Amino acid sequence: MEKNVAGRSRTLLPRSFFDRDPRQVSPELLGKVIVRKDGRSGRAGRIVEVEAYLGADDGAAHSAAGRTARNQVIFGPPGHAYIYFIYGVYYCLNISCLPEGEAGCLLIRALEPIAGTEEMAEARGLDNADLHSVRGLRSLASGPGKLCEALGITRERDNGKDLLSPRSDLIVADDGYVVSEIGVTPRIGITKSAEMPLRYIAAGNPFVSGKIKMGTR
DNA sequence: TTATAGATTGCCT
DNA sequence: GGCAATCTATAAT
């Protein structure tokens, strides 16, 4: 048991949490915390946006065509990191679900930064970000590619890592925070099975990905 | 404020 | 060879 900056006690999630259907895990994962343990205080962000990817009957899932060298983590035991490289530019972080042999995962799409924001800005190459404004904080991790850059997540470093082990430098934790209202929408950026409502968001949270609605001012 | 193009790698057909 | 679970800069309105 360790303490975060807000003084809330933080515990690792049990393996059984991810040993379920991704659609069941998704809404409960909102509000949990991703922690990168390096440097002095480490970096941490609260999960505010998640997408579920299924095994069969989901053409958008990387596991749709069966097990390959690239997607094997999705078929492995629950609670492990599946990282893929996209558009030749960014990495994306997923967490495997369901028991060994069954495909299913969650794409982490956005974080609300809660610790190590200066390190995150540095990792993102944002030297002049105003880390006291929502706008500046939002620029750190409001998207799957951005959050990986902010936390230094790469395929080489983190793919296959156990996110539920106290010895890992990348973990998912529960600090007791509860998301009050959960929204469900279709997933972003896919062409196959694009209509399925499998994107879960903390409704009203400004750190969810996408453009900010700016009224005229 | 919205729209569009381009970057750039590795995986699968 | 084609294309992908993204993001940013730049241009047009």
pLDDT, tens digit (0-9, with 9 covering 90-100), for A89-130? 999 999 999 999 999 999 999 999 999 999 999 999 998 899
- So what's the pLDDT on residue A128? 85
* Separation of alpha carbons A162 and A11, rounded Å: 15
Q: How many domains is chain A built from?
A: 1
What nucleotide is nearest A108 when CA is compared to C1'? Answer: C5
Percentage of the residues of chain A whose pLDDT score is greater than 70: 94
Longest Cα separation, chain A = 54
Q: Would you say residue A194 lies in a domain?
A: no
Q: Which helix (H) or strand (E) holds A150?
A: helix A144-151
Q: Would you say residue A198 lies in a domain?
A: no
Residue A163, amino acid: L
A71 touches strand B (CB under 7 A): yes
Q: Would you say residue A74 lies in a domain?
A: yes
Confirm if A215 and A65 have CB atoms less than 8 A apart.
no
Q: Would you say residue A183 lies in a domain?
A: no
Mean pLDDT, rounded, of chain A = 94
Q: What would the mean pLDDT of A1-11 be, rounded to a whole number?
A: 68
Q: Would you say residue A200 lies in a domain?
A: no
pLDDT over 50 (residue A216) = no
pLDDT band at A212; cut points 50, 70, 90:
confident
- So what's the pLDDT on residue A217? 39
Q: Would you say residue A204 lies in a domain?
A: no
Q: Would you say residue A214 lies in a domain?
A: no
What nucleotide is nearest A65 when CA is compared to C1'? Answer: B12
* Separation of alpha carbons A141 and A205, rounded Å: 13
A69 touches strand B (CB under 7 A): yes
Residue A192, both tokens: 């196959």
- So what's the pLDDT on residue A191? 93
Cβ of A200: how many Cβ atoms within 10 Å?
27
Residues in chain A: 217
Confirm if A87 and A144 have CB atoms less than 8 A apart.
no
pLDDT band at A168; cut points 50, 70, 90:
very high
pLDDT tens, A173-211? 999 999 999 999 999 999 999 999 999 999 999 999 998
Using the CB atoms, write b or e for A34-60: b if 16+ within 10 Å. bbbbeeeebbbbbbbbbbbbbbeebeb
pLDDT tens, A123-152? 999 988 999 999 999 999 999 999 999 999
What nucleotide is nearest A92 when CA is compared to C1'? Answer: C5
* Separation of alpha carbons A41 and A49, rounded Å: 24
- Chain C bases closer than 7 A to any CB of the protein: 4-8
Confirm if A190 and A199 have CB atoms less than 8 A apart.
no
Which domain CATH number covers A12? 3.10.300.10
Beta bridge mates, A111: A47
- Chain B bases closer than 7 A to any CB of the protein: 1-2, 7-13
> Which range marks the domain in which residue A115 is found?
2-177
Q: What would the mean pLDDT of A162-182 be, rounded to a whole number?
A: 97
Question: Could you give the 3-state DSSP secondary structure of residue A133?
Answer: coil
Quick one: which of A76, A84, A44, A54 has its CA closest to A172? A44
